[in-house]
Structure 1
């Protein structure tokens, strides 16, 4: 089974991260899936943005926590980030918008819960309900650095695909993944090797390292038989696969 390519925050190396044009670019270049990050607004809407604050990716004088803004306030912000001159103004998408667009394609969607710093009440339940309502459970992978969120998701759904995110070296990560009743590991790419990949897969645990942007590293992970790689440059990765 060939390695799948997930566009990290869409095609974040070439387009404004976590925006609809970034996701559409990943689809255009033939990515198998996209990865995105979710937070929740003051009025309880799930939005797609990486940081817990709007400080880095929004242009202008916007400062503060995503949780302290309403959806209407967030929608007025420009998240074209460093690509404004190239693509113009971009808005923060809702998860609902992304799922609605996903009806037009067959992309896999890796949804990352950003629940490490902010405890968004009910975000797991809301996300799972939305996935159920759109009938796309077989296209979804839920991941998080906050493994409590994943345990909660497993209690809510016996079948949803879950993956643990981690940054440091983890001893026998496939065993930890199994103990949490998750299906995959999403390790920082420098923390794994061929043995970990092979042993994880032997134990039925998918391996999708992030964020793999170096072509030599991409090729290595493809040769090692990774289930997928998560990259800012899906076009480059797809070209290597061919």
Structure 2
């Protein structure tokens, strides 16, 4: 009995803090002062206590693996939430038009938090404020070179409609000798067993489903129509993680049908906060005692502070209990 109590006292679960797109998104209601998916944003997330950073990758028109967010998998997805044309009056390129060789024609957009304009204005071509000093969409290789030497991990989210993206990511990491820097490859774009989020044009996990040297995570933001399908998909792709939206975490059915069975199977749960769901202090405090293994947050510094406060409280309680049982 004593050994069980000691194990409970000294083996408290630690939640991994993941910086969403670095130190948070640039979108309305997010408070990040650095542009999402930029080197300064990743470094700031690490400075304030993130254990890992999350980033978005896809293949540009000139066949480069670039790091920036995009909403839709197809070539008509506008990049006006990420970049602004260098020259006034020019249209922001669509994802299918973007050439990394011409990256200097489009500067990274200033985060919403700097001026807090109307949300619809910000997410349009009409808001053209660029970040200062000038930044441009980076290559994945550049991000690896900057972030991996810090010792922190990277969650690479696969986007777009090019099925070569996952093998390309792994090849870049291998060429740079930073394979261990990749925490997981995650994606919404998987087809087997009825993806609950949306119908996708390409299955980005299929080319690496038999590769066991990298951890894979299935992203989804809606309730599955069949509770067995995510587990069948995980088995098919060899995925070790589920990455649901954090809004699903406290749903009792989701807990009973997904979270608890996943943990019993040895899978990990990592929820994420999207741009439209600000993770304020009251909200984040609810998740401290959740059964998440990781939380991908737009405010990693705040989450780290909350977790540290909770850890100090637990340490004090442990010391009190140690004195009580006479250890």
**Normalization by structure 2: what TM-score?**
0.67
Counterpart of 1:197?
A: 259
CA distance in 2, matches of 1:81, 1:62: 17
- Of residues 14-23 and 102-111 in structure 1, the stretch that sits farther from structure 2 once superposed is 102-111
Give a deviation string over 1:121-140, Cα, whole Å, max 9, x none. 52222111112223333332
Counterpart of 2:100?
A: 71
Counterpart of 2:207?
A: 152
Q: Is the CA contact (8 Å cut-off) linking 2:154 and 2:181 kept in structure 1?
A: yes
Deviation at 1:68, TM superposition (A): 1.9
Counterpart of 1:108?
A: 153
Counterpart of 2:240?
A: 183
CA distance in 2, matches of 1:5, 1:66: 30
Structure number with larger C-alpha Rg:
2
Deviation at 1:72, TM superposition (A): 2.1
Deviation at 1:74, TM superposition (A): 2.0
Q: Is the CA contact (8 Å cut-off) linking 1:36 and 1:48 kept in structure 2?
A: yes
Distance 1:85 1:146, change over 3 A: closer
Deviation at 1:54, TM superposition (A): 2.0
Distance 1:132 1:101, change over 3 A: same
Segments of structure 1 that go 5 or more residues without pairing to the other structure are: none
Deviation at 1:85, TM superposition (A): 7.8
Distance 1:85 1:57, change over 3 A: closer
Q: Map 1:83-232 onto structure 2 (within 5 A).
A: 83=114, 87-115=132-160, 119-120=161-162, 122-140=164-182, 141-147=184-190, 148-155=203-210, 157-170=211-224, 171-172=227-228, 173-193=230-250, 194-195=255-256, 196-211=258-273, 213-232=279-298
Alignment RMSD (CA, Å): 2.1
Matched, 1:40 2:56: no
Distance 1:63 1:180, change over 3 A: same
**Count of equivalent residues:** 238
CA distance in 2, matches of 1:56, 1:154: 32
Give a deviation string over 1:41-86, Cα, whole Å, max 9, x none. 2221101010143222212434222332321212432113334687
Segments of structure 2 that go 5 or more residues without pairing to the other structure are: 1-12, 25-30, 71-76, 115-128, 191-202, 309-327
